[in-house]
Amino acid sequence: MMQSSTICPEDLSIVCEHVNFSYGKQEILKDISFSVGKGVTGILGTNGAGKTTVLSILSTLKKPKSGHVALLGHDLSRYSSVEGARKNLGFLPQHVEVMNFSSVQDNVAYAAWAHGVDEKHVEEATMRALSAVNLEDKASVKARKLSGGQRQRLGIACTIAHNPQIIILDEPTVGVDPLQRNDLRNLILHLGQSRTVILSTHLVDDIARIAQTLLILNSGNLSYCGPLADLDEVRACTSQSPTDVAESIEHAFARLGS
Ligand SMILES: Nc1ncnc2c1ncn2[C@@H]1O[C@H](COP(=O)(O)OP(=O)(O)OP(=O)(O)O)[C@@H](O)[C@H]1O
C-alpha cells in the first residue's frame, strides 16, 4: 500500500493501485492497477467501459472508493499532495469549453493565470502554448470563429499553458475531420516526447499512430496494460504500417474483451 507522498519512482509519473469506483451500487471500476511514465498512453474501451471515470480520477475530479493514485509521487489520498499534483497536471475534458467571445490568446492567457502562472509570465506562457499547438496566427481571432480541429488545439493550448508534466486528454480526436485529426495526432505525439500524456479513445487508429503504451478497459476491468509492442497481435504483425497495427489492436481488443 502507498504510504508516503513520494511513492513512485521518477520515471513512473502515474501510479494506480487497486482502484475501485462506484456510482451508488453500480461498480464502475474494478481493482484497476497500472503505472505509466513519459510518452503517450492510450486507453481503449467500448462505450461505458469507464475511460472517462479513470481520467476523472487521474485529474483529481473524482475520488476512488478505494485504492491509491499517485501523480509524480504525490499521493492523491492526501489533500496537501492533491494541490502539488494539480500544478503539474493539465486536463482536456471530452467536451471542450472555451470562452467563445474572447480571443484565442485571451483564452490561453486566462487558462495560464487560472493554473497559477505568475502574472509576469502569463504572456510568455501563452505564446509558448499557442506556438506548441500551431495557433499563433489565430491569436487575435475570437474562439467562436475556429473550426472543430482548431478548437481542440485551443483546448490543448489551455491545457498546457502552465507547462504541466502530465497531460490528460479525454477523446481529443473526436468530431474533427481526417486532416485535422492527423494534425492533432502529430501534436499529441510531439507532446509525449517530453511529457506523460494519457488519452482515451474509441479509435484503434489513434492508438496505432500515437501511443507507445496501451490500456484496454472492458466493463470496468483492465484487461491489458503494457507496451503496444508487447501485444501478441502487434508483435505477430510482419509489416508495421499503421493500418496493420490498428487491425492487430482490434484483434487484441476483441480477444481480451471476450
Ligand atoms: N454521474 C453518473 N452517475 C451514474 N452513472 C454514471 C455517471 N457517469 C457515468 N456513469 C456510468 O458509468 C459508466 C462508465 O462511464 P464512463 O463515462 O467512465 O465510460 P466511458 O468509457 O468514458 O464511455 P464513453 O466512451 O461512452 O464516453 C457508464 O455505465 C456510465 O453510464
Distance, in Å, from the CA atom of 68 to the CA atom of 2, rounded to the nearest integer, reads 7
Strand order through the sheet with 66-71: 26-36, 14-23, 66-71, 74-75
Distance, in Å, from the CA atom of 235 to the CA atom of 233, rounded to the nearest integer, reads 5
- Mean predicted confidence (pLDDT) in 111-119: 94
Q: Residue 180: which pLDDT band, with cuts at 50, 70 and 90?
A: confident
Query: For residue 242, is pLDDT > 50?
Result: yes
Structural domains of the chain, count? 2
The model's pTM: 0.91
Instruction: Locate the ligand 1 atom nearest the alpha carbon of residue 170 and give its number.
Output: 22
Q: Is residue 118 part of a domain?
A: yes
Instruction: Tell the residue nearest (CA) to atom 18 of ligand 1.
Output: 50
Q: Is the CB of 187 under 6 A from ligand 1?
A: no
- By DSSP bridging, strand 26-36 and strand 39-45 are unpaired
> Domain limits at 2?
1-88+165-258
Backbone angles phi, psi at 257, to 5 degrees: -90, -10
Instruction: Count CB-CB contacts under 10 A for residue 197.
Output: 28
Q: Is residue 46 part of a domain?
A: yes
Instruction: State the pLDDT at residue 1.
Output: 35
- Mean predicted confidence (pLDDT) in 140-168: 94
Q: Tell which of 115, 140, 164 closes a domain.
A: 164
Residues 133 and 199 in one domain: no
ipTM of this model? 0.96
Instruction: Tell the residue nearest (CA) to atom 29 of ligand 1.
Output: 48
Instruction: Locate the ligand 1 atom nearest the alpha carbon of residue 53 and give its number.
Output: 18
Please choose from 19, 22, 28 the residue to mutate so as to test ligand 1's pocket, defined by most ligand atoms within 8 A of CB: 28
Distance 129 CA to ligand 1 centre (A): 31
- Reduced to 3 states (helix: H, G, I; strand: E, B; else coil), residue 70 is strand
Instruction: Tell the residue nearest (CA) to atom 13 of ligand 1.
Output: 48
Which residues on adjacent β-strands are paired with residue 178? none
Residues 136 and 177 in one domain: no
Q: Is residue 236 part of a domain?
A: yes
Residues 175 and 257 in one domain: yes
Q: Is the CB of 225 under 6 A from ligand 1?
A: no
Instruction: Tell the residue nearest (CA) to atom 25 of ligand 1.
Output: 47
**For residue 25, how far is the Cα from the chain centroid?**
28
Residues 155 and 170 in one domain: no
User: Which of 226, 190, 237, 231 has its CA nearest to residue 209?
Assistant: 190
Distance 95 CA to ligand 1 centre (A): 14
Q: Residue 3: which pLDDT band, with cuts at 50, 70 and 90?
A: very low
Residues 172 and 154 in one domain: no
Instruction: State the pLDDT at residue 6.
Output: 41
Residues 126 and 201 in one domain: no
Q: Hey, what's the cell of 49?
A: 467501459
Which residues on adjacent β-strands are paired with residue 27? 22
Q: Is residue 212 part of a domain?
A: yes
Angstrom CA distances, 232 to 205, 215, 223, 224, 229, stand at 17, 14, 14, 11, 8
Q: For the ranges 81-85, 91-95, 117-121, 203-207, which has the lowest average pLDDT?
A: 81-85
Q: Is residue 94 part of a domain?
A: no
Residues 187 and 212 in one domain: yes
Residues 47 and 20 in one domain: yes
Q: Hey, what's the cell of 249?
A: 489492436
Q: Is residue 93 part of a domain?
A: no
Q: Is the CB of 50 under 6 A from ligand 1?
A: yes
Residues 124 and 241 in one domain: no
Instruction: Write out pLDDT tens, residues 192-220.
Output: 999 999 999 988 888 999 999 999 999 99
